[in-house]
Chains A and B, each alone.
Chain A
Amino acid sequence: MLYVERLCAGYAGGIVLHEVDLRVHPGSIQAVVGRNGAGKSTLVHTIAGLVRASSGRIEIGGVHVAGRQPHRVAQSGVGLVPQGRRVFSRLTVAEHLVLAASPWRAATPGGEGWTVPRILELLPRLAARLRHRGCELSGGEQQMLAIARALLGQPRVLLLDEPCEGLSPDLAARVRDLIGHLAAGGLTVLLVEQQLRHAIEVADRVAVLEYGRVVYDRPTTEARSDPGPLEAIVGIAPTASPPVTRSTPRLWADTP
């Protein structure tokens, strides 16, 4: 469902992702872990179209989307839950849901038919906060709203960039349960996670990014039975060399 092949991308300062390969099947969760600056968020932004890929392929359900602008990628069935949630501070919860309920739903074959009532049934806390603005919500509520906003776009692929960041352990566990529930319903999930143990707990596969390269990509069953090798890669010695900086196409926002 989500197929990334030899993907290179970066910013004006240089290439960040180097020939990244990932293959995420429908209904499965692919976790991506790595240190700060490894390129995890850049990977998510590149798939979402916020950063332009300089080379390589990104396929959503067989459709090549690399190089498309963000709204085209979203229309292709990609939902983004960004780092820091980025809910609209001026809009109420109800307005978020109205805005996110996509008018192009019919153009997204295979969509699971997320509706506002279904979202409120799944995330009842939002129902109690419908009249509150984004800036008035707690971190957990904002995270729920960011997930609800992404789901209402009828995604086939859901990109989650550190969804448990800043949440209490209890709330983070609930968010992970929710992610597992969504994948069980057939959604393809790419999960960027700082905490290796949390990634292993919820994901079907885990990949490690280091200096923008995938240095590990295995099923989590292996890591669950013997997390030692994976912990060694993530936590101790770098296995990839820092790449030579090259020039790269600029961000969409920088494009003249």
Chain B
Amino acid sequence: MIAVAAGPNRIDPYVIPALDGVAYGLLVFVAAAGLVFCFGVANILNLAHGMLYAIGGYTAAALLDGGWASLALALGVGVLAAAAAGVLLAGLLTPVATGNHLTQALLTFGVALAGGSLLVAGFGPDDPQVLVPAALDGSVAVAGHRYAAYRLVFIVVAAALAAGLYLTVRRTRAGMLVRAAVDDPEMVACLGVSPTRIRVGVLAAGGALAGAAGVLGAPIIGPGADTADTVLLLSLVVVVLGGLGSMGGTLLAALAIGEIQTLGVALLPSAAPFLLFAAMAAVLAVRARGLAPRWAAA
């Protein structure tokens, strides 16, 4: 009886970090999905992807006033602005779209630096405050703990976004094109589909997703001078761990990152500074192709 009773007590302190890990992981998934497909489909290494998230974050900070209408407005504006930035990036990348990744990395890194500076110049160097809707500003009881209502709702919304993305990739013609292009872009072109259209579409959709993540995730990874770098770094880890063009692998990698960043740090606080990258190195040492399961290759 004592052993049975002791089980929940040992787990109890980690319930909230584990839940936080799910929220963080789903945020990273929505933010990183665009980068993963951009790399996997269009073969473009977009180091300006973090900036697209930051656009959403700053939009949220500028427009949110604690009401639902402002959240809807911020979401619409943030998604559109980030998608437009994605299209702009696709245009800038046209001359190097079939070049090597170093050229693309240099170009997009330059865009990220310039874009980041413009955002800081426009919104100021201090991290702006983000006001969530008043109804979600409190906390709710979860397994005997208080947990931020906004984060709980975010988990539901982000899970719905992930499910929508999954269904889009699995069930729509656009999704089939994406999966086919990951497999053999030349044969997709031989079906009469322009590679440029696919590239622009993927960058716009990736931008929209990153913008949505930036608006909705602003209370979790808030806008600031380092936001773009943080999101880019996490997204690149997702690419390395999750594989290219694999929804299952991407989700698994993002959730793993979320748990490492929250639950892992709670369990091993002294290892917090390097836990994520130590875990990444360990995964790659054991499983070189990352976490992507074979069944999730599509």
Q: Which residues of A contact B (CB under 8 A)?
A: 48-50, 69-71, 73-75, 80, 82, 86, 88-91, 95, 98-100, 102, 104, 133, 149, 153, 252-256
Nearest CB of chain B from residue A166's CB, rounded to whole Å: 18
Find residues 180-211 in chain B having any chain A CB closer than 8 Å to their own CB.
180, 182-184, 186-187, 189-195
Q: Are B192 and A88 in contact (CB under 8 A)?
A: no
Given A71-B194, A254-B98, A89 and B183 touching (CB < 8 A)? yes
Residues of A within 8 A of B180 (CB): 88, 90-91, 99
Q: Are B298 and A80 in contact (CB under 8 A)?
A: no
Quote the shortest CB–CB distance from A141 to chain B (angstroms). 17
Pair B177/A50 contact, Cβ less than 8 Å: no
Cα distance A50–B186 in the bound complex, in angstroms: 8
**Known contacts A48-B190, A71-B194, A90-B297; can you find 14 more A-B pairs with CB under 8 A?**
A69-B189, A74-B192, A80-B190, A82-B187, A82-B190, A86-B187, A88-B180, A88-B184, A90-B182, A95-B176, A95-B179, A99-B176, A99-B180, A153-B192
Q: A70 with B177: in contact, given A90-B297, A99-B191 (CB under 8 Å)?
A: no
Cα–Cα distance between A71 and B186 once the two chains are bound (Å): 9
How far apart are B20's CB and chain A's nearest CB, in angstroms? 34
- The complex places the Cα of A255 from the Cα of B97 at a distance, in Å, of 9
In the complex, A37→B238 CA distance in Å?
42
Q: Is the CB of B192 within 8 A of A253?
A: no
- CA A69 to CA B199, docked complex, whole Å: 15
Complex Cα–Cα for A252 and B187 (A): 13
B297 touches A88 (CB 8 A): no
Q: Which of B95, B179, B190, B193 contacts A256 (CB 8 A)?
A: B95
Residues of B within 8 A of A (CB): 95-96, 98-99, 173, 176-177, 179-180, 182-184, 186-187, 189-195, 297-298
Q: From residue A237, how far is it (CB to closest CB) to chain B in Å?
A: 36
Instruction: Please report whether the interface of chain B is mostly helix, strand, loop or mixed according to DSSP.
Output: helix
CA distance A73 to B98 in the complex (A): 19
Give chain A residues whose Cβ lies under 8 Å from the Cβ of B193: 71
Selected from B176, B184, B189, the residue in CB contact (under 8 A) with A71 is: B189
Q: In the complex, A100→B179 CA distance in Å? A: 14
Q: What B residues does A50 contact at CB under 8 A?
A: 186, 189-190
CA distance A80 to B99 in the complex (A): 26
Q: How far is the CB of A96 from chain B (nearest CB, A)?
A: 8
Closest residue to B95 on the A side, CB-wise?
A: A256
Q: How far is the CB of B173 from chain A (nearest CB, A)?
A: 6
Asked if residues A149 and B191 are in contact (CB atoms below 8 Å), the reply is yes
The docked-state distance in angstroms from the alpha carbon of A61 to that of B182 is 33
Q: Are A153 and B95 in contact (CB under 8 A)?
A: no
Q: A90-B179, A98-B173, A99-B176 are in contact. Are A153 and B191 (CB under 8 A)?
A: yes
Expressed in whole angstroms, the Cα–Cα distance for A133 and B194 within the complex equals 24
Tell me which of B173, B195, B297, B298 contacts A99 (CB under 8 A): B173
Per the bound structure, the CA–CA distance linking A44 and B95 in Å amounts to 27
Q: What residues of chain B lie closer than 8 Å to A74, measured between beta carbons?
A: 189-192
Q: List the 3 shortest-distance A-B pairs measured between CB atoms, nearest first.
A: A74-B192, A70-B189, A90-B298
**What residues on B are CB-neighbors of A256 within 8 Å?**
95-96, 98-99
Min CB distance, A52 to chain B, in Å? 12
B174 CB to closest chain A CB, in angstroms?
10
- For B192, the closest partner residue in chain A by CB is A74
Contacts of B191 in A (CB 8 A): 71, 74, 99-100, 102, 149, 153
- CA distance in complex: A25, B148 (Å): 72
Chain A residues, CB < 8 A from B187: 80, 82, 86, 88
